[in-house]
Amino acid sequence: MAATGRARGPGTDHEDLVSVTAAARVDARRLWLRHEAMARHGATAAGGVNRQALSVQEAQAWQLLIGWGRELGLMPATDAVGNLFLRWPGRDPLAAPVLTGSHLDSQPTGGRFDGVYGVLAGLEAVQALQEAAHVPARPIDIVAWMNEEGSRFAPGMMGSSVFSGARGLQEVLAVTDADGVAVAEALADHAAAFADLPCWPLQRPVHAYLEAHIEQGPLLEREGLSVGIVTGIQGKRTFSVTVAGQEAHAGTTPSSQRQDALLAAVRIISGLVAWCHDPQDLVRFTVGRLDVLPNAPSVVPASVRFSIDLRHPDSQRLCHLGDGILAVCEAQAGPCRVTVTELSNAQSLEFPASIRQLLSACANDLQISHMDILSAAGHDARYLHEVCPTGMIFVPCKGGVSHNEAESATASDLAAGARVLTQALVALTR
Ligand code: HGY
Ligand code: MN
Ligand code: MN
């Protein structure tokens, strides 16, 4: 349902004039061309992006973003967990900043808008504000959070969760990727290429956080709307399950003597699908990664490790389903041994009405049709929500397709979201 009222954003007529003028300075072509330039780093043959956390491709993306920031007089900085900030100091450089951004890392078959849009919309908003001669009363920090996707290193949202204090730095630094490379090692290599950047403290005060992002779902496109005011983020629990059996000769070992870890994993996953079956189709149960060892055609599998990504908008339901996973695994393990490790447990959250009303008023001021929308996807805003007033702006993506190389959006929708962001930044930095 589109909001059509003419609620006024806060501020004096002069300030409103500045903010609408600034929003009008958002340049859809400039924003689009920056997406095209950023997509070259980690570009895949199918037109998508594979830019893993702390990879060479992400370092190239950092260089590009820092270069654009320096052209606007923004000061780059990082922190101990590998987040990137571009600071516009404003009138009172010591005041708590407003942060806006998202992430530059992608899924292996990712698109060119997931995460990148939030970072580039922040840059575009700052450039539009500068062109409108707006001087923020407090700093604005554009941010690119480290490892939002959780693809190379699991779980995701490492940068924002350590920044906010929800996760410990040492816990995150110890996580290893599929090649056994620890975050600490990858971070040291990455940081060496940016040794000139100041390293800011973690858990520093933040006045407010705004994140622009593609919806990664079909609702806005279906309603023909350019902007969604995000009401909250559904809950998500992630697990790693290891099934331990015994490698054996595929030709000489009778079934009765096998401890086949893959057959057990297949039974377990089928059992979990049944456990999570939902006639309302609200449960989101995904096994996205499955590793078999020794992964040889003539060896009975010795062990299998697979991931579980479980989500639901109702926290109680999510709690019930997640708490039942171990019992289902043990019931289906047969002669194998199974261990279940929970990697993350994030409840459903609702963003504060103050920020949602501000964003809706800004969209009204700009006469941009919009609707309230729940985020089914996870975002770094989850962790900023724990430490400051936080909100999100969605724009549609084609067919709701995301985490897919075909991910697509329109320049005009990207610009519309950036205009609402610009307008809101004026209000938050008066
Ligand atoms: O998985 C998610 O929800 C996010 O896109 N990383
Ligand atoms: Mn994202
Ligand atoms: Mn994503």
Q: What confidence tens digit (pLDDT) does each residue in 98-147 have?
A: 999 999 999 999 999 999 999 999 999 999 999 999 999 999 999 999 99
Q: Residue 2: inside a domain, yes or no?
A: no
Say yes or no: 284 and 329 in one domain.
Answer: yes
Asked if residue 4 belongs to a domain, the reply is no
Asked whether residue 226 is domain-assigned, the answer is yes
In a domain, 412, yes or no: yes
Residue 411 lies in a domain: yes
Amino acid at the residue 383: Y
Asked whether residue 6 is domain-assigned, the answer is no
Q: Which of 325, 346, 367 is the last residue of a domain?
A: 346
Q: Which domain holds residue 246?
A: 235-346
Query: Is 333 found in the same domain as 243?
Result: yes
For residues 339 and 372, state if they share a domain: no
Q: Are residues 210 and 268 in the same domain?
A: no
- Does 11 score more than 60 pLDDT? no
* 8: in domain: no
One domain for residues 260 and 353: no
Which pairs with CB-CB distance under 8 Å and at least 24 residues apart come from 269-276? 269/306, 270/332, 271/328, 271/329, 271/331, 271/332, 272/308, 272/325, 272/328, 272/329, 275/321, 275/324, 275/325, 275/328, 276/310, 276/321
* Per-residue model confidence (pLDDT) at position 21: 87
Based on the fold, state whether residues 376 and 410 are members of the same structural domain. yes
Cα distance between residue 133 and residue 275, in whole Å: 57
149 lines ligand 1 (CB under 6 A): yes
Which one of 327, 346, 365 terminates a domain?
346
pLDDT of residue 430: 86
Same domain, 324 and 354: no
Record the pTM: 0.94
What's the residue count for the chain?
A: 430
CA of 39 to the centre of ligand 3 (A): 15
Structural domains of the chain, count = 2
Who surrounds ion ligand 2 at CB < 5 A?
114-115
Q: Residues 237, 345: contact at Cβ < 8 Å?
A: yes
Name the residue among 124, 147, 123, 117 with its Cα closest to residue 53. 147
Instruction: Give 381-430 pLDDT, tens digit per residue.
Output: 999 999 999 999 999 999 999 999 999 999 999 999 999 999 999 999 98
Tell me, what's the pLDDT at 1? 39
Residues with CB under 5 A from ligand 3 (ion): 114
- Say if residue 60 is in the same domain as residue 102: yes
Are 230 and 253 found together in one domain? no
Confidence of residue 4 (pLDDT cuts 50, 70, 90): very low
> Does residue 110's CB lie within 6 angstroms of at least one atom of ligand 1?
no
State whether 170 and 257 are in the same domain.
no
| Residue 210 included in any domain | yes
Mean pLDDT of 52-79: 98
Q: Is 158 in the pocket of ligand 1 (CB under 6 A)?
A: no
Question: Does 115 lie in the same domain as 54?
Answer: yes
Strand 284-286 to 303-312 pairing: antiparallel
Same domain, 220 and 272: no
CATH number at residue 398: 3.40.630.10
Tell whether the model's pLDDT for residue 3 goes beyond 50: no
> From ligand 2's centre to the CA of 115, what distance in Å?
4
pLDDT band with cut points at 50, 70 and 90 for residue 5: very low
Residue nearest to ligand 1 atom 4, measured at CA: 378
Give the domain CATH number at 341. Answer: 3.30.70.360
Domain's final residue, options 313, 346, 379 = 346
